[in-house]
Structure 1
């Protein structure tokens, strides 16, 4: 019997999740697994998933449906409960199990880039944005040892994000972006580039900036970050690791991370 999976979101045509998952299936010899993409907007997830038959084994969920996925899940992993967001749905006999592999993806992308968690003892990490992805970034930083964090937002930090910080014992404070040991951009699209001026001056030595957008190095923000002396990490690195965790959850097989990284980086180079 065929086993089917897909990424759901809107827009989703740009998603590299199919490239990563299909590369994993090929390496693992899972010839009975397929992975597709479907446009599913906010409020449409429950009806879409409800119309799928039992050949559908799992879904990767991206914006704007992560909170809808949280509501749909019959059971949720602790990290999903903690962040109020689900990016992974896996079929079980009792319904859909929800998980949030974005947290793992952020952690591994930072560690791969050489980020030293010890710098969180004297430095305050900065997160651009305060939505569902920002809550995953906050959880990742907290698990790496952060007890303080700063959010840069247009208005106010979302209540759900403030509540998560309080529950995790994280103090929210202000900080100069240039002094942060790590900055994570969770703002989608071109809106993030309005923050480029925060890097008009040199930054703390060793600063790592993770931009969840795939082509971070091709943006005004990425150019400013690099010019200021920070180490820029593109969102493809986070995507690889969160997808690897999804492969494990959906198929039960260890993910071939190196193969997935090579496939993701090659796809980015071809764009």
Structure 2
């Protein structure tokens, strides 16, 4: 029977890992997607869409499908599914690892304002500028709805969910974007301050470079901590090494 690996996906790294594992003999790979994006990118191997029904539902799915290893490769801010994965792993005793690209670090010339949450980001905005570019995704914008004196530009793949700030422009676009793209957006929209989550990686870091070059302040929402006992690695190669160390996914 092939080794069955479940990937909790939705990131570029999850797709890369699925492609590598699907090409290996003796490995069955299933990627689970939350279903929040209407047209997700192509994923190798088996794909399931939707939630499991909490930690208990995930644990039951892992047992019923005879999963041998669980890889949480969700977005660093997908707190609920990561917490459910931790509880399901504890309940089943299944080998589990978190794949998280390294977070960003400020460099010379950066004007960062680190905050712990979107609510804290909203509280930090008054005094930093009147025109705000939000690149925090389409969810959670209710935190900014009370800021009636500011004008927001929200960039997301799909239209954001209400409640929303009253003065709002929506830019529907899918990255990755170059530094030139980001600089043009910041200039064209006359942006004073950028708000973003610490997603990490290079694919979405061009906006930080553009903000630095233009001398703009950046409110950076820090990542939530991982659940206790959950180990993390920083790239696909490290996950493959972790799997092979457990006799899974060998070439």
Fold conserved between structures, TM > 0.5: no
Higher RCO by CA contacts (8 Å cutoff, separation 6 or greater):
2
Choose 1 or 2 for highest CA Rg. Answer: 2
More helix by share: 1
TM-score by length of 2: 0.41
